[in-house]
Each structure stands twice: as C-alpha cells, then as structure tokens.
Amino acid sequence: MTEHKLSDTLAAPGARTDVGPAVPAPGAVGALRPLGLDQARLRPDGLLGRWRRRNAEDTLPHCVDNLHSQGNIGNLAAAAGESDQEFAGMWFADSDVYKTLEAALWELATSPADAGLKDFVDTTTALLARAQQADGYLNSHFTIAAPEKRWLKPDWSHELYCAGHLIQAAVAAGRTGGSPELVAVARRFADLIVERFGPEGVEEVCGHPEIETALAELYRLTGHRPYLDLARRFLDLRGRGLLGPGRFGPVYYQDHVPVRDATEVAGHSVRQLYLLAGMVDVGVETGDRTLLDAAERLWEDVFHTKTYVTGAHGSRHRDEAYGDPYELPPDRAYGETCAAIASFQWNWRLLLATGRARYADEMERALYNAIAPALSADGRHFFYSNPLQLRTGHAGSGEEAAARRLPWYSCACCPPNIARLMASLPGYVATADAGGLQIHLYGDASLDTGVAGRPVRVEMRTDYPWQGRVELTVEDEGGRDEDPWTLALRVPAWCDTYAVSVGGETVDVPVQDGYVRLTRVWAPGTTLVLDLAMPVRRLSAHPRVDAVRGCVALARGPVVYCLEQADLPPGVVLEDVWLDPAAPVEAAHRDDPAGIPVVLTAGGRLAGSGDALYTALDESGPGRETGAPLALTAVPYFLWGNRSEGPMRVWIPLAATG
C-alpha cells in the first residue's frame, strides 16, 4: 500500500484562489482574499451543502428546461438565423440564459463529470457565437424584434445589463477553465462597448446598473485596463440626468445624484445594490477611496433605516423600490429575491475590502432569511417577492399573489439568480490573508488553502444553524516554531455568549472586530471548538417602524421564525393570535417529516376581536381584550409555505399585560 503524505492531497502553496466570483486583482485595495470553489468544499450532510446539492440536482436543470420551453434559447436561435420564432418573453430574456450559464460553470468547477451541464454550456456557447453579429453585438431582442432601436433607449433597453450578465458568465468560464469560447464571445461584445462608450465615445449609462461590476470583473480576469476604465466612466457619468425622466424618473434608474455624493439609498432596490457592488469593485481596483467611502456611507443608511428584519430590501411594490426611512410594512414588503442576492454580493465585496465582520453578518442574515425563503423544498418553485406577512383572505392573483411559490415567471430574473449564487456558495465560506485564515459562514465543510507558504487544511463539522457548536480540526504539515498563523472565527453580532476550547481546554479569547483570533503554531490534528450560545431572541423594531409597533419577531441564531396557519388549531385565525409576553419561548428539536428540525414553542392568547371594526377605548380598556391561552409553534421563515398555502406572519403582536 502506497502511503501518501498530507501535502499530496492538500492545495499547494500558490494554488489558484480565483475560482469564484468577485476576486480582486493582485495589488487591489483589500484586506482579504477569497478561497476558490475548489478550496472550500461543502459536505452534503450540512444545510449549506444540501442547498448546493439541491441546486445542482433540481434548480439548475429546472432553469435549463425553462430556458428552452419559455423561448429564451429559441430567441438566440432566431438571432442566429436558425429559426423563424418570434421573440418570446421579456426584451432582456437573454440575461436569464447568461445567469444560468454562470451557475452551470460554477457547478462544473467542482462537478466536472456532469455531462448534462457541460452539454448545456457547450451548445449554448456555440449558439451565442453564431448569434453574435460581426461587430460583436449580441442581443436577441434587438437583433430579431427591434434592430432599428439598437442603443436608442438606454433607460429601458437593458442592452448593457444583458451584456453585463454575459460578461459575468464569461468570467466564470475563464476562472474555471470551463469555456474559453464563451470568454471570446463576451470579449468581442465588451470591446464593442468600449469602442462605443469609452473615453472618446457616447456619454451614456444603462438604466439598470450591472455592467459596472461586470466590466471590473472582466478586467480582473484579463488584465485589460480599458474594461476597468469604462466601468469607472459609467460610474462617473451617473447623476447627470443623461437618461432623462424615463418611465419612472431618474431615482428609479440611479441617475439622480453622482454616486460619490449620495447620502441615502433610493429607487429600484436591485439597481441600487448592483450599482453599489460596482462601486466597490471599481474602488478597490483603482484605489478610489471616495467610491468605497460612499458605499460604506450608503451601507449605514440602508441597514439602519431601510432593511427588513430578514435582510430583505425594498418596501414598495411600485417601482420595486426602497421607501422612506423606517417604511417597512410586513404585509406589503416587496423584498425581491434578486435584491437579497445583490445585497449578499455587495456585502461580500465590502467584506473583502475591509475585513469588517458586519458585512459577513449581513451576508448570513440575507442567506438564511431573504434568499433561502424564495426557494421551495423541491428546488423548483420560487418567490419573486418575499412578504413578511400573508393575511387571511389575501386577495391576489397570478404572479403577484405571493401566497405560493411559482415554477417560473414572465420576468424570470430570480430563479437563475438563485442558481448562480447557490452554485458559487462554497466560495463565500472563508478567506485568507498574509497572516492566516478567516471563517465567515459556518457549515459542514473542508477548507484547503495555502497559509504562510505551505498547505493547510481545516475540517469543519457543525449542525449550524440549528446548533451553535462548531468543531474544527487543523492540519498544518510542516509548521515550524517560527511560523505561527492566525485562525479567525466570526462571532455573529446576534451572539452575546460564546466559548472557545483548544485541545479540550477552554481558552479566553476576546472578540476583536467581530472575530475571535487564535494565533499559534498549529500542530497537525489540533482540534478546537467554538460554541455560540443560541437562546431565542424576541426582537423589537425601532419605534419609527410604525407598521410593527407593539409586535416582536422571534429569532434563534441566524434564523428568523414565523407563525403559519398550518400550526394553529382549526377555527383559529392567525390575525387573532397574540404572543404572551410573560410566557417563555423555547427551542424544540425534532425529526420532522416536513423538514423542520427546530421549532420555537411559545405561549399565546387569542385576541377578543368581536365584530366592530373600531372600538372606543373607554369600552374595552387599553386595547382589545385578550382571551383564552393558546400554545404557539413558530417555524423557520425560510421554510414557510412548503406544507400548505395559508396565512403567515413574522411580526407577532404582544398581548396586553396586567
């Protein structure tokens, strides 16, 4: 039997770390560098690993099937002159093809034997090459349905938006080695865009930001400076009113104020968040501190006044937009899935740039409570918007019903966006720097990287987010006394009490900037445990959030919980249920056929609602009477709507005391 050394299986020093999204170029401003998808592996036993496996087995194939059945692929065939199909779907339907391509390429980075996905990538890339025009232009809508309008409606055409998603798919292709042909297609289009909009070209911006971050990423892949310069030019041109009033006004299009001068987030939430991601990308690559300062200033605004307790963004259905400060109605929450994904991507970039734990905290909150809820347990049904309350008798129809997840949408931006995030999920777990390794998201995983010039492996075992115990084993072959390095473990902002032990012995390690940091020479096989206390928390909103005044939300660990009609006795209406503030709220672990491993049990009371719509206070005291006690069960919000359709609420009214 041949005996292999550990170094035969671990990542070699200097191994590629760019196999993943948003990888800053060498020399860019930044505190941390990401690990590659091939360096961070999620085991299918853990929740994150199960999500990624479901994405590969169910969500991605479902997206591919719908690209064919809904006409997206047929549009490209028509643009290539190989079909007489009339254009089908939204005029930006090409972007859904590109997001699905990106998802497939991230998945193939760790599952190269998936013949179905490889065939999708190869055949679709070949079709794109045939559909591309001689000058590099590629957009099926403006090729077959409106060739005379090419480049004429920058506020609404989404031409640069679609190009951005093509470029991001190509970046995934370049970083994984999955399709050099796709990189060539995207670069031909990108070169045309540079020629048209570059320093001596047309002064214009896209009504839907996305191209900015894509061009920065293409620069990172290729080192071709004109791509980065154009990304910066697009940022510099915003806020000059170049798009005119358009359909919804300049705020909607992010063209109302220069990006460096903005003091609050506004307008269409996805557009705003994609723009912010681009600002960070360009800021770290050019060293432009004003862009990074503006991004952090806007972070303060959005997360202190305009973000839901779940991490969702966008309180207005009209324009899919941010509302006023503290305007966060739970039942009218829009909370578009794509906005949560954009927030995750923006916070990732800020984390890499600064190393600040608050950005990892927001990634975690969005992942568990604003992105995961959009996807059904079967991986093939989706929420576009994510309300925090569904009322009894909710009136709605079609895609705006919000009562159930749908298999697809006429504007299908969210399903492939979910697919590309879940496919790249391992790349967000940990980072490294010159001094060591940092772990930001907890899950069953194996991390292989180079630290201090030698291979290091960290095995992570945990039942997070249901348990707060994270067990780690460090394998460092060849460590010497003079070569200590630091392992940093995030202590989430929601955690007030934690414990750390190394080799079975408790050690006193303070939290510094959101992390406990252990610096030592790591003997092979060193074990350590981080125990995060997970008591149930009853959260209240800022008093200015009028819509939920007098209510609490229940949370445990990173997970927000909700009440569902499915857990109430027959005849009890959800809106008549109040939480008893004197009763304890406790976590209960169980083997549940519905896949809900941890529920919260609480004491509640029925409200004495009566028939009157309005009641004088002098007739009933300080509020409605509270009636019989009631046992309540709260389930993770991200799992709501999987058992049956029916009312749900995150914010629960508190019963009167005394």
Provide the number of structural domains found in the chain: 4
By percentage, how much of the chain surpasses pLDDT 90?
Answer: 86
Are residues 103 and 226 both part of a single domain? yes
List the domain range (segments joined by +) for residue 596: 536-653
Q: How confident is the model at residue 621 (pLDDT cuts 50, 70, 90)?
A: very low
> Do 528 and 550 fall within a single domain?
no
pLDDT higher than 90, residue 158: yes
Q: Name the strand (E) or helix (H) holding 380.
A: none
Residue ending a domain, among 506, 532, 558, is 532
Largest CA distance in the chain: 87
- Which of 463, 457, 448 is CA-nearest to residue 525? 457
Cα dihedral value 126, 129, 130, 131, nearest 10? 120
pLDDT band at 386; cut points 50, 70, 90: very high
* Separation of alpha carbons 582 and 605, rounded Å: 11
Q: Which DSSP helix (H) or strand (E) runs through 29?
A: none
Q: What is the pLDDT of residue 656?
A: 81
User: Annotated catalytic, 320?
Assistant: yes
Q: Which two tokens stand for residue 638?
A: 């991200």
Q: Do both 322 and 346 map to the same domain?
A: yes
Q: What is the pLDDT of residue 17?
A: 67
The yes-or-no verdict on residue 13 having pLDDT over 80 is no
Distance from C-alpha of 29 to C-alpha of 37, rounded to nearest angstrom: 22
Boundary residue ending a domain (475, 510, 532): 532
Task: State how far the Cα of 443 lies from the Cα of 604, in Å rounded to an integer.
Answer: 34
Residue 14 has pLDDT above 50, yes or no: no
Q: What is the pLDDT of residue 2?
A: 36
When computed from its CA atoms, the radius of gyration of the chain, rounded to whole angstroms, is 25
Same domain, 572 and 455: no
Cα separation, 640 vs 11, in Å, equals: 40
What average pLDDT does the structure give for the chain?
A: 93
Pairing relationship of beta strands 454-462 and 430-433 according to DSSP bridges: unpaired
Contact yes or no for 178/163 (Cβ under 8 A): no
Dig out the tokens for 606 from the structure: 């029925």
User: 354 lies in a domain?
Assistant: yes
Same domain membership, residue 496 and residue 557 = no
The CATH number given to whatever domain includes residue 519 is: 2.60.420
- One-letter amino acid at 50 equals R
Helix ranges, 521-637 (H): 617-620
Read off the pLDDT band of 481 (50, 70, 90): low
Measure the CA–CA gap between 576 and 554, rounded to whole angstroms: 18
180 and 82 in a single domain? The answer is yes
Residue 398 has pLDDT above 90, yes or no: no
211 and 278 inside one domain: no
Tokens of 578: 């109040």
| This prediction's pTM | 0.96
Q: Which of 31, 17, 62, 13 lies closest to 379, judged by CA? A: 62
Beta sheet of 33-34, edge-to-edge order: 33-34, 430-433, 436-439, 485-490, 515-520, 511-512
What is the C-alpha separation between 317 and 387, in angstroms, rounded? 11
Task: Examine residue 585 and state whether it is found in any structural domain, yes or no.
Answer: yes
Taking the CB of residue 566, how many other CB atoms lie within 10 A of it? 18
What is the average per-residue pLDDT within 299-318? 97
Q: Band of the pLDDT at 11, cuts 50, 70, 90?
A: very low
Instruction: Tell me the pairing of strands 515-520 and 511-512.
Output: antiparallel
Angle between the 159-176 and 115-131 helix axes, to the nearest 10 degrees? 130
- Determine the average pLDDT of the residues in 32-40: 94
Same domain, 128 and 213: yes
Which token pair is 501? 């032990």
Which one of the listed residues 320, 362, 364, 475 is annotated catalytic? 320
Residue 435 and residue 456 in contact, taking contact as beta carbons nearer than 8 Å: no
Among 17-21, 191-195, 388-392, 504-508, which stretch is predicted with the lowest mean pLDDT? 17-21
Position 99 pLDDT exceeds 60: yes
Task: Yes or no: say if 568 and 577 are a contact pair by the CB < 8 Å rule.
Answer: yes
Q: Say which of 162, 413, 414, 562 is annotated catalytic.
A: 413
CA–CA gap between residue 368 and residue 357 (Å, rounded)? 17
Residue at which a domain ends, from 393, 413, 428: 428
Separation CA 6–CA 524 (nearest Å): 10
* pLDDT at position 622: 45
Assigned domain for 251 exists: no
3 state SS of 276? helix
pLDDT confidence of 5, banded at 50, 70, 90? very low
In degrees rounded to 5, what are phi and psi of residue 304? -100, -15
DSSP string, 160-220: HHHHHHHHHHHHHHHHHTS-HHHHHHHHHHHHHHHHHHSTTS-----SS--HHHHHHHHHH
CA–CA gap between residue 589 and residue 166 (Å, rounded): 44
Q: What are phi and psi of 450, to 5 degrees?
A: -105, 130
Residue whose C-alpha is closest to residue 375's, from 56, 59, 53: 59
Report, as an integer, the average pLDDT of 60-67: 98
Q: Report the alpha-carbon angle 135-141-146, nearest 5.
A: 85
Instruction: Indicate the range of 94-108, 225-239, 389-403, 426-440 predicted with least confidence.
Output: 389-403
In a domain, 398, yes or no: no
| pLDDT > 60? residue 623 | no
pLDDT the model gives residue 613:
86
Is residue 386 assigned to a domain? Answer: no
Bridge partners, 556 (sequence order)? 536, 559
Same domain, 195 and 273: no
Whether residues 526 and 541 share a domain: the answer is: no
**pLDDT on residue 347:** 98
Mean pLDDT of 262-274: 98
Average pLDDT over residues 164-175: 98
pLDDT higher than 60, residue 35: yes
Summarised one tens digit per residue, pLDDT across range 234-250 is 999 999 999 998 888 99
CA atoms in the 13 A half-sphere facing the CB of 648 = 27
Quickly state the pLDDT bin for 15 (edges 50, 70, 90): very low
Sorting pLDDT into bands at 50, 70 and 90, what band is 356?
A: very high
Answer whether residue 396 is part of any domain: no
Percent share of the chain, pLDDT over 70: 93
Res 6 pLDDT > 50: no
pLDDT at 568 over 70: yes
Q: Are 414 and 59 in contact (CB under 8 A)?
A: no
**Is position 463 within any domain?**
yes
Q: Is the pLDDT of residue 253 over 90?
A: yes
> Residue 356: is it exposed, middle or buried by C-beta count within 10 angstroms (0-12/13-18/19+)?
middle
536 pLDDT above the threshold of 60: yes
Residue 389 lies in a domain: no
pLDDT, residue 339, reads 98
Q: What is the pLDDT of residue 314?
A: 97
Residue closest to 583 by CA, chosen among 564, 560, 599, 600: 600
94 plus 185 within the same structural domain: yes
Give the mean model confidence (pLDDT) for residues 523-527: 93
| Closest-CA residue to 379 (of 51, 76, 121) | 51
pLDDT at 18: 82
330 lies in the same domain as 307: yes
